[in-house]
Chains A and B, each alone.
Chain A
Amino acid sequence: MSAYAKGETHRTLDDLLGTRWRRPPLVQRAWLRWVLLVGLVVYLVAAISTVEVNWSRVYEGLDRGGAFVMAFAQPDFVSRADAIWNGMVESIVMTVASSVVGILISIPIALGAARNIAPLPVYLVCRGIIAVSRALQEIIVAILLVAIFGFGPLAGFLTLSFATIGFLSKLLAEDIESMDRSQAEAVRATGARWSQCIEYGVKPQVIPRLIGLSIYRVDINFRESAILGLVGAGGIGATLNTAFDRYEYDTAAAILLIIIVIVMALEYLSGLIRARVQ
């Protein structure tokens, strides 16, 4: 649609009668289209030729793949119930604690990272914190924190809090920057202090978005907490890893099903809450 709108809309009918209609291409410039196409083909050939696939190993694995799919039909919640329960509780505990701390820290940082209410030095510092937090992936932060703080959920909790700050502060700051100025000005015109301006002029405008983002982040934190155990940072990941290592697919399937159900429940819940606050 966009391609068609660019130059061809104003051609007259006479013009068109002589030529056969052709579908407008996605990329307008012909040379660019060919360069992209040839480049893609060359890259694909190079890439696929360097990927070594041991097809006999893959073929052998199909049986195990089948066994895993079958395991989903009859997951085993019982034989490792203790390990699953402890891992799940730890994951949920990490999720809740890190979300609370992350949200509490990210609010002042978001205020600092909004150009319309923060002075330039504060703005730069806060934006720097956000950039660092967003550039580092959770699992790498977790590895470093496990090396520093030792194994256990504390490293996972700190990782998730750190990741929450980058995510939430950035989106919240953007929301504050795009808010309606006149309300904040009206509150200031009554002689309100800075803190009162924030409380009555800014907060009511951004609170629905903050709640929505927070719940979304709780959802992400839970998903991430499921893998932090792989590097020793606590949660259900360690149990899952052990289950895979022992080829106990029925237990692994049970854990994955629990994760999927909790994520779906969280998504449903967040939909309900977001619909209510907005």
Chain B
Amino acid sequence: MSDQVMTSTRFLNEGTKFECVCCGQVYFDHTGHCNHCQAPTSISRVVAERDGKPKFLCVLGASGAGKTVYLGMLLDMLTKGTKGLQGLPNNSFSVSVQQQTMNALERRRFPEKTATESDTWKWIHCEVNYRKKKDNFFDIITPDFAGEAISEELENPGQYPAVGHIIRRSQAVLVLVDSIRVRDLGRDEDFFALKLLSYLESVRKPTGKNAAKRKTDLPVAIVLTKSDACPEAMQDPAEFARHNLPGVDQYLNRHFNDYQFFAVSAVGASVSLVDAHGRTEQIPMHIEPLGIVEPFEWIIKR
């Protein structure tokens, strides 16, 4: 009895040694997450216990671009099974993102804004099986980044190390861009996405022979969100991007080998709720996802 108590006390004091799945740092677990990049230990543990390397997928975008809605919706659709894909959330954080997003949308609200503090980010880990083949599976591992943190990291690289580490390990990147803001609010979205792409390129720069002449191999899906209210984007995302995101279009063409534009939406119609102080909140009247899985499917085929 006394031995058992001593054993558990020893583990409590020293923790268990883990290699972080995100940044690769070896650490003793005391807090449940890596002390460098804040990736949850539970994900590192699951990946360590399983054969095969995890495949990361990174979802980036400015604040308010719709990352949480997109990820929550994607997880829920994959869990239900769609287009030959079947997902299984592998940790409680993933279920939380799914649950909070779905609960909010079903009750005609958008989920709360993701906090900037990296230790509060919900890390998603979903194992996805493709076409029901036993070995044909991969993981989506990505934190639900706060847009402000991405913005900070672009300005001061290293501020949020998880962003860089995830991009370094990702098999593909989804860059979410708010199509309504692109259409209605000038070039700001274009500039932000441009900075993001330039950051991606700096992190995933080709190395070796003729590196300077080669384009980056990282597949990039530019996902135009909220396109239910921007039919121009829905009709032809690439054409819309050519005219409204000229910087992004040219940069991708010049620096990336493999990219594609997509238009997605989760909402069928929306109205605005205005309070006595003039604060406005968008209300989704009903939910009809459109194009959510397509960027993901495109990435799988890469």
Query: A and B bound?
Result: no
Show the binding face of B for A, using Cβ within 8 Å: none
